[in-house]
Structure 1
Amino acid sequence: MSDTVSIVIVSHSQDIAKGTADMVRQMVGDEVKVAFCGGNPEGGLGTNVPLIVNAIETVWSPMGVAILVDLGGAEINSEMAVEMLPPQRRDRVVVCNAPIVEGAVMAATEAAGGSPLEKVRSVAEELSAS
C-alpha cells in the first residue's frame, strides 16, 4: 500500500459506519486505508471522541486523513478528536462536509489516485454543492 490519504468514517450507527467502510474497500480495494467507528460505548446510537482518535491513529498517513461524518454530533466529535491529536498531525486531518456514503467512496477513489488531502476533500465536498 502506497502512501495515500486515508479515510475515517464516523457514524452514529456502528452498522452504517462498518457498511460504508466495507463498500469503500470493495470499490477501491486496498489502495486506501479505511477505518470506521460508530455508536456509543453502550452499543446504542452516538459517537465517541476517543474512538474517533483511535480510528485516525489506526490509519494515519503523512498524506493526511479525511473524515466523513453522518450527522452534526459526529462532526463536532470529529473536530474535538482532531484537536486531541499531536499538534504536528492536526493540519493533516480534515472533516469533509459531504454525504457519508457517496463522499467516502468519492474521497477514497480520489485518494487512490494519489491526490493530496485538499483535493480529496474538495472532490468529496462537490457532492454537497449540488
Structure 2
Amino acid sequence: MNNVGIVLISHSPKIVEGIQDILTQVVKNVPIGVAGGTDENEIGTSIEKIVAAINQVHNENGVILLYDLGSAMMNAELAFELTGYKNIKIAENIPLVEGAYIAAVESSMGNDIEKIIRSLRESF
C-alpha cells in the first residue's frame, strides 16, 4: 500500500530541500517531492517543477501540496489542474514546516488524505 504523497513548494530550493531532509529522518515510507525556486533556481516558483514533483509522488492514495507564500498557492492550483489528477489536496494556510511534518507523520501511519487534511486544519 502506498501512503499519501507530499509535495513541498517554496520560493527557495534550499527551504524545501531542508524540510525534505527533516522529514526523511522521521518517516521512511512517505513519498516526498520538492518544487523549490524557479526553473533557473532563483527565488520564485515553477509550475513545471510542481507538476514534476506531483508526478513523482502521485499514487492511488493522493497527494497533499504544501506551500510557503500566496503566489506559490496559485502555481500549485495551476499545476494541480494541469496534472488532471482528482486526488490532490492543497493544504491552504498551513505553515510549511510544521504542516509538512504533521502530514508526513500522518501519512506514514496510513491515514487517508481527508484525515490528514482534517488534522492539518485542526492543528492550525
Shift, 1:44, TM fit: 1.4
- Equivalent residue, structure 2, for 1:114: 110
CA contact (8 A) 1:104 1:124 kept: no
How many Å apart are 1:77 and its aligned residue? 0.2
Partner letter of residue 2 of structure 2?
D
Aligned: 1:101 with 2:97: yes
Give the C-alpha shift of residue 42 in structure 1.
2.2
1:1-130 equivalent positions in 2, closer than 5 A: 2-28=1-27, 30-86=28-84, 89=85, 91-97=86-92, 98-128=94-124
Aligned pairs, how many?
123
TM-score normalised over the length of structure 1 = 0.90
- Whether contact under 8 Å (2:39, 2:49) holds in the other structure is no
Answer yes or no: is the 8 Å Cα contact 1:66–1:95 preserved in 2.
Answer: yes
Task: State which drifts further: 38-47 or 60-69.
Answer: 38-47
Shift of 1:125: 2.6
Q: Which ranges in structure 1 are unaligned for 5 or more consecutive residues?
A: none
CA distance in 2, matches of 1:122, 1:25: 23
Letter matched to residue 26 of structure 2: M
Alignment root-mean-square deviation, CA: 1.0
Q: Measure the CA separation in 2 of the matches of 1:127 and 1:71.
A: 19
Q: Alignment partner of 2:75: what SS?
A: helix
1:31 aligned counterpart, secondary structure: coil
SS at match of 1:36: strand
Gaps of 5+ in 2: none
How far, CA to CA, are the matches of 1:27 and 1:43 in structure 2? 27
* Secondary structure of 1:94 counterpart: strand
Cα distance in 2, alignment partners of residues 4 and 41 from structure 1: 28
Post-superposition offset of 1:126 = 2.5
The code of the aligned residue for 2:107 comes to A
